[in-house]
Structure 1
Amino acid sequence: MGEPGHMFHLLGLCLPPDSSDSELELSAVRHQPERLDQLQAQTKFTKKELQSLYRGFKNECPTGLVDEDTFKLIYSQFFPQGDATTYAHFLFNAFDADGNGAIHFEDFVVGLSILLRGTVHEKLKWAFNLYDINKDGYITKEEMLAIIKSIYDMMGRHTYPILREDAPLEHVERFFRKMDRNQDGVVTIDEFLETCQKDKDIMSSMQLFENVI
């Protein structure tokens, strides 16, 4: 599995301070993360690493939050050859664990821990959550197509100049046939985990797409 290096740059792109200093102070206090020892138990970072991550996050994000527009901005900068907007939207929702429209330090560091140091099983569970756009516990063909198309759009034609317009659909059809083991039109977490771990083609493709995280 690839390492998601782009995530570190979120430390430098956070909510703009559009309120007074006193209000910002209150906001920063309100969004203090859990005690670092609790986060250490939740993640695979050392206490020293968490302190370093938090210092950088707090320094660049006085409000303690990253909003979706900021998230989209970073992906536009790293993938100027394509349109990263849609993929960034899906990825933001995967990191926004409580669905409140902002990424807190806790959300950021827990997700980062899984992507950087999680087991294959943990990374695949995180990927399932990314593909399960409406968070109903199932991946539909439409959801998978939306994610795959957004990745192709982000990478741009300069990266994949010979791709046909129907390439994302073919990609999804091939994956879905393998994953939807009981042919009920949806992929469950168990089907996703079992298929991905057993199928070398899917695993290598998953690794390729993880590089855009």
Structure 2
Amino acid sequence: MSATQRLNEELVRKARNQMRTATDPLERLRLTCLARGASGIKGLARQFRIIDDDGNKRLDRKEFHKGCRDFGAVLTDKEIDYIFDHMDADNSGCVNFDEFLVALRPPMSRTRVELIEQAFNKLDKNKDGDITVEDLKGVYCCKFHPKYQNGEWTEDQVFREFLKTFEAPETTDGVVTKEEFLNYYAGVSASIDNDAYFGLMMRTAYRL
């Protein structure tokens, strides 16, 4: 089992255990995401984007309820209203779901955030704010991947599989944004209590 698989399983285990005692609705929604693994927050983001027909990245109360329900969050209508009202700070009747997803991330120290941003910036070779297969060429080494070594996959296939790591299942587009990268590693971070170990993991993985 790879280190990534172990961390993901540990994340799921911890989230499920914490859900038994969590009472704050926002924390329960966060744990619902984390119980689906490190890409869980990305999955919730997908539900919100599906129902955001005009693409303005804002949801009214009815849309917000639908997004939570479609995601499978086990929350009462009252609890979903509580989260909505908490995020609708200006009483506009809408929630900016990018801001909401930032609030939903598990808390991270500034040191961890900086390491994640360093890793993203290293992979984003052309500095356009997205990571693509082209960015990874010459930056991410695939020669040790077993399927590349045995000739089953090309370099591009290894790169595409790597990018899928940061996207929710069935929503992969081969483009990883900084928000997706941060959301993924916020999940990974939640499974690691020790800052030094998290730092070692990131520096080793990305040669920072």
Q: TM-score scaled by structure 1?
A: 0.31
* TM-score normalised over the length of structure 2: 0.32
